[in-house]
Amino acid sequence: MERFWLVLAIVVFFLLCLAGMRLGWRRRSRSQSAWLPPFPEIPAEPGEVRLESVGLYVSTTTAGNWQDRVVTRGAGLRTGAVWRLHPEGVAVERGGAPDFWIPRASITGVRRDSRIAGKVMGTDALLVLTWRLGDVELDTGFRGDDLDDYPQWISYLSDHDIKGGAQ
């Protein structure tokens, strides 16, 4: 009978830990909703697709703080994703989570990195876009299936005016 009570106590403790994590996630989401504007929606006519990559949307964090995950409005959900580069911005289409748009004018940087909340890798296997949403600067991380696409993304978003169609 002692074993039963011990197992029950461990199960109850585990369930309390899960409830605490869920409560913390919801509280963080509510507090972020107060200071972070909604993510832009993908325009109805975004223009021709210049570049497309399939992979994993890892997370969005406050810029320069790779562990400060943004969880509001579904941004904290790690999902399969397709990133599409259009003349006016990047469409982030996520399976099972809200899609969003990163306007070209708001992108302040693009780089390869080895870490962002939810993923740490030994190599620079993440593509991270730094962009402004209202008064807040964010980093959005993506792990592409084909890492050979990254130089094209970096070239388009940092060196060229994609409106002009630089290839």
Is the pLDDT reported for residue 167 higher than 50?
no
User: Could you tell me if 46 and 88 are in contact, meaning their C-beta atoms sit under 8 angstroms apart?
Assistant: yes
pLDDT 10s digits, 28-75: 778 788 889 999 999 999 999 999 999 999 999 999 999 999 999 888
Structural contact between residues 76 and 41, judged by C-beta atoms closer than 8 angstroms: no
In a domain, 45, yes or no: no
68 burial (CB, 10 Å; 0-12 / 13-18 / 19+) is middle
Do 24 and 59 lie in one domain? The reply is no
The residue with greater pLDDT, 9 or 35, is 9
pLDDT at residue 160 in the model: 52
pLDDT in tens, 117-162: 988 888 899 999 999 999 999 999 999 999 999 999 999 998 655 4
Decide if 67 is inside a domain: yes
| Residue 131 burial (C-beta neighbours within 10 Å; 0-12, 13-18, 19+) | buried
Residue 146 lies in a domain: yes
Q: Kindly state whether residues 55 and 104 are assigned to the same domain.
A: yes
Identify whether residues 61 and 17 lie together within a single domain: no
d(CA 155, CA 143): 17
What pLDDT, on a 0 to 100 scale, did the predictor assign at position 6?
93
Residue 21: which domain range? 1-35
Residue 41 belongs to some domain of the structure: no
Output the CA torsion 82→66→111→81 (10° steps): 0
Query: Does one domain contain both 66 and 20?
Result: no
Which has more pLDDT, 27 or 49?
49
pLDDT tens for 67-112 read 999 999 888 889 999 999 999 999 999 998 999 999 999 999 999 9
Rounded CA separation 162/157 (Å)? 7
For residue 50, how many other CB atoms are within 10 A of its CB? 18
Number of domains in the chain: 2
- Residues 55, 16: one domain? no
> What is the rounded distance in angstroms from the CA atom of residue 68 to the CA atom of residue 116?
9
